[in-house]
Chain A
Amino acid sequence: MATVELRFSALPEHVRTARLVAAAVARRAGVDEAVLDEVRLAVGEACSRAVGLHESHGITAPVRVVLVEDEKTFSIEVGDEVPGSGGAAAGGETEGAGESDAEGEDEMGLAVISGLVDDVEVSAGENGGRIRMSWPAHPAPVLP
């Protein structure tokens, strides 16, 4: 089960909220302070991308962020509801070729994520795309 799950309307002003929540949960999960900036940036990039995809495809559904704290890892999954969007990220889709600016920014976002995060998976499905990222975590021992 997710430690924290967040759904927000696909609007740019909410991406900051997602960053703040992700950083707070990551800190609690025991992710190194030095890595928190990376978590913040990576989740921001993934959410910005999802917001852009929802906006450009006229999708009113919210963007979904799932933060999971495991024993040794902290993972974040950002899901959009644009069918095949993950595949587009991997270099498939030609439909949006005319929107060079948006497409370019989308690719730059993914470039930043893959440069920042060692463990990242981008996938696409009929119900939408998904970016899953994880970082090592060392939860503080529970005090008696």
Chain B
Amino acid sequence: MDLSLSTRTVGDRTVVEVGGEIDVYTAPKLREQLVELVNDGSYHLVVDMERVDFLDSTGLGVLVGGLKRVRAHEGSLRLVCNQERILKIFRITGLTKVFPIHTSVDEAVAATD
């Protein structure tokens, strides 16, 4: 299954809905999307990963890169994920301390800290 990406705006946040597999082949597409959003002035991103089936370290690298970019503009990058198999990858790499991870898009959009 390939990667699917769609974006929508909720208030001052941009929600990026990601579906499918984020791996060494598809991660560059996600990177391009995040770079494009930041270049267009969207600095508060919510990446909805509820429909992601697979995530590897290349995908983690892209998310970290996205976080670095939005932080350069005092922005934020929040994740939405409830899937244990995906959360596990964030835990074993210690990235749960780096990314705010929310259980719903509504919660992520409302978060301010």
Binding site for B on A (CB under 8 A): 12-13, 15-16, 19, 37, 40-41, 44-45, 48, 51-52, 101, 104-105, 108-109, 111-112, 115-116
Contact = CB atoms under 8 A, between A and B. Distances in A.
Given A13-B25, A112-B92, A115-B92, A104 B61 contact: yes
Given A16-B21, A44-B56, A112 B89 contact: yes
Interface of B: 21, 23-25, 54, 56-58, 60-61, 85, 89, 92-93
B57 A15 contact: no
Given A40-B54, A112-B93, 9 more contacts: A16-B25, A41-B54, A41-B56, A45-B56, A48-B57, A52-B24, A109-B56, A109-B57, A112-B56
A67 B83 CA distance: 28
14 contacts: A12-B23, A12-B24, A13-B25, A16-B21, A41-B54, A44-B54, A45-B56, A101-B61, A105-B58, A108-B57, A108-B93, A109-B58, A111-B92, A112-B92
Nearest to A15: B24
Contact of B23 (A16, A101, A104): A16
By Cβ-Cβ distance, the 8 closest A-B pairs, closest first, are A115-B92, A12-B25, A48-B24, A108-B57, A12-B24, A109-B57, A13-B25, A105-B61
Contacts of A108: 57, 60-61, 93
A116 B56 contact: no
A105 B57 contact: yes
Contacts of B60: 108, 112
Contact of A111 (B23, B54, B85, B93): B93
Contact of A48 (B23, B92, B93): B23
A19 B25 CA distance: 13
A37 B85 contact: yes
B92 to A, nearest CB: 3
Contacts of A51: 24
Contact of A116 (B23, B54, B61, B92): B92
Given A16-B23, A48-B24, A115 B93 contact: yes
A37 B83 CA distance: 12
A48 B89 contact: no
B57 A45 contact: yes
A73 B92 CA distance: 24
